[in-house]
Amino acid sequence: MGTTLPEIKIKGWIALIKELGYAGATKFILLYEQGEGEYTEQRRELFKGKSVKVIVDEMKEKRE
């Protein structure tokens, strides 16, 4: 059995980050994905009451 679509997506994202960095990889993806919903409102709700330091710390924890 071959590589699954979710595995390909993850490997592709990692390759983009390695080559372009997080910001560049995100910009690349945004060229091809239109997205949906109210991004700004979703983010406000998601990060409500959290400082940037807390958000960054949580991201680092998830990486490990």
CA gap 42, 40 in Å, rounded: 5
Q: What is the pLDDT of residues 36-62, one digit of tens each?
A: 788 889 989 989 999 999 999 999 998
pLDDT at 33: 74
Alpha helices in 1-64, H assignment, sequence order? 5-32, 39-46, 52-63
**pLDDT higher than threshold 90 for residue 28:** yes
pTM of the model: 0.48
**CA pair distance 58, 35, nearest whole angstrom:** 24
Q: Taking 70 as the threshold, does the pLDDT of residue 1 lie above it?
A: no
d(CA 38, CA 53): 24
CA 7 and chain centroid, separation: 15
The domain segmentation of the chain, as residue ranges, is 5-63
